[in-house]
Each structure stands twice: as C-alpha cells, then as structure tokens.
Structure 1
C-alpha cells in the first residue's frame, strides 16, 4: 500500500475528554498502532502476565467497544483526507495480519 498520511482518532469512552489522536506516515503504521493500543490495554489489564497473546476476534471486540475509532487517510489526488469507520479499520487489520501470518 502506498504511503498515505493517516490520522487515527480514538475515543475510548463516551466522555469527550478521553478523545485522542495520533498521526502516522502510512495506513499500515496506523493499523499497527491500533494493535499496539490494544496490547497496551491487555498489559494494563493483566499486569502479572509474562506474555500477552490474543486473537483477531478479541482485537475486533476491543475496537467495537470503543466509543469511537476512525481514520482519516490523505488522498493525494483529491488533496484532502477521507474518513474511514471501525468496519474499514477491522477489514484493513484483517488483511494486514493475514499478510504478516503468511510471511511468518
């Protein structure tokens, strides 16, 4: 996938002050960032666990339970950002992880 500046908007709870954003050089970096957010959540939830493992359905449940999560992906030809919702994010994560599993 070509490099497209991507902004990740996350709101874990319904409280507006929990909103955060991060920016990435590419969509894939953003998707990896979402996985890292989930892994940090797991580490906080299981502080005594020496290793963290999860499957894609657990990651998708986490995404579904966030109050909001969306990506803004820069479209060079249009000169603007296009918004993408949780379903798009999950689809892209699925494809990315499948590719990574194939290389492993």
Structure 2
C-alpha cells in the first residue's frame, strides 16, 4: 500500500493522510510499501515528527519519497531519514537497506 502524508493531494497513493494521527494509524495498521511525505501537515506536527515516530516504532517502509517543494524543509526531512538509516542518490527517493 502506498501512503501519502500531506495536506496537498499531489502524489498518487492508495491512502491519503493530512495529519499525524491519521498517518500514525495508517503506518500501524497497514503494510505500507511506500511513504510519500511532505513537511507541512494539518495540526501542530510535521513530516519530521512522523519520521521520528516511525523510526522509534519501527513502522517505516523500505521506500520513502519526499514530496515537499520548499528546499529548506526538504533538507530537514532528508536529514531525519538519513538518521533513520535511509540513503538517497537524488535527495527525493530514499531507500532503507
């Protein structure tokens, strides 16, 4: 299952989550193959919060795509993914080995 975590519906996915509670529920309850994530979400949390939580709970999928368009926020998401054990050749598509 492909899950998009964003308040914009710009990524093709099976399930869309616009806030952290929906995203956490999706990661806990479904077998996610790809996570597409933005920085800005509805509510007070952001995409970095989801990645940090997923790392602790060990629920992040093998593939994560950063869909954020703002460069400074993309860097924050990329750093958090690298801290979670992901690597990327292009700074957009991340894979965990």
Q: Is TM > 0.5 for Structure 1 vs Structure 2?
A: no
Return the structure number with greater helix share.
Answer: 1
Greater relative contact order (CA < 8 Å, ≥ 6 in sequence)? 1
Question: Considering only CA atoms, is the larger Rg found in Structure 1 or Structure 2?
Answer: 1
TM-score normalised by length of structure 1:
0.28
